[in-house]
Chains A and B, each alone.
Chain A
Amino acid sequence: MTDLVNVAFNAEGFMTDPTQWTKEIAEILAKQEGIEVLTTEHWKIIDYCRTTGLASGKAPTLRQITVGTGITTKDLFALFPKGPAKKVAKIAGLGKPEGCV
């Protein structure tokens, strides 16, 4: 049983401590963002964001995600409907993406 009681968020709803993140937390956050089930494709994106985000300290931009994972822009927007930029970063337990592309 996981809940978000002990997880720290900022005012915009991004986790402030990426080390608190777990897959279970990601699933809860995804539901909050309107994504009921995280599929293999979702996880491919989230895992990529975790890896690059933790290494650089910054959430990757959408362009970095498509180039880095090989997932197309169309699919990325279909997997995370209504604006993937913040959704992906939130679910991956990272901050707001800082790049523009």
Chain B
Amino acid sequence: MESEQRKIAFICSKGDLDMAYPALVMGWAALGNGIDVTLFFTFWGMDMITKDRQKHLELAPVANTSMKMRLMGLPTGTLGIPNLLGIIPGMTAFTSWFMKKKMAKVGAPPVDEYLQMLVDAGAHLYACKMSVDMFGLTKEDFVEGVEDIVTAGDFMDMTEGSQIIFI
């Protein structure tokens, strides 16, 4: 019963804490189901694989219309966190800390550990050449597991037949 090997590629373009998780969660599920997984990190998404950034991804409350105060257990209905409060020093650190706590509660490991799990399970990680050049990074700036720095064209070649998800 040989069927064609299913392949999924994720393009990770965001470096916010909350936007790091979709590819990790879905990529892990895909690997668990025997699907080939490739992750391509571009622009801010490279924070997910950059050694000195990976553990410090943040979630800012300013201009985040989905982040309601009730997330913190306050009986405030659908009231958001006022942008004016969001600009207080320490607020981004607070909301980031809070989100990390929420993620841990559902059993999701931190971004660095999660990504390592995907690598150990056989995911292929690549960084975007144009973004690397633009931000002045090199392969040494990235965590182990990042296989190469590739162009958009290379990515198209290596993902032939894959389902592609842009995040």
Contact = CB atoms under 8 A, between A and B. Distances in A.
Contact of B122 (A62, A77, A99): A77
Contacts, number: 45
Contacts of A90: none
A72 interface: yes
A73 interface: yes
Interface string A69-95: 000111011000111111000000000
A20 B92 CA distance: 53
Q: Which of the four size classes fits the interface of chain A?
A: 10 to 19
Main DSSP-derived SS at the A contact region: helix
A99 B105 CA distance: 13
Contacts of A77: 31, 120-122
A74 B33 contact: no
A74 B120 contact: yes
Given A73-B117, A73-B120, A77-B121, A85 B29 contact: yes
Interface of B: 25, 28-29, 31-35, 106-109, 116-117, 120-122
Can you list the 8 inter-chain pairs with the closest CB atoms, starting with the nearest?
A: A83-B34, A85-B32, A73-B120, A82-B34, A74-B120, A83-B33, A77-B121, A101-B107
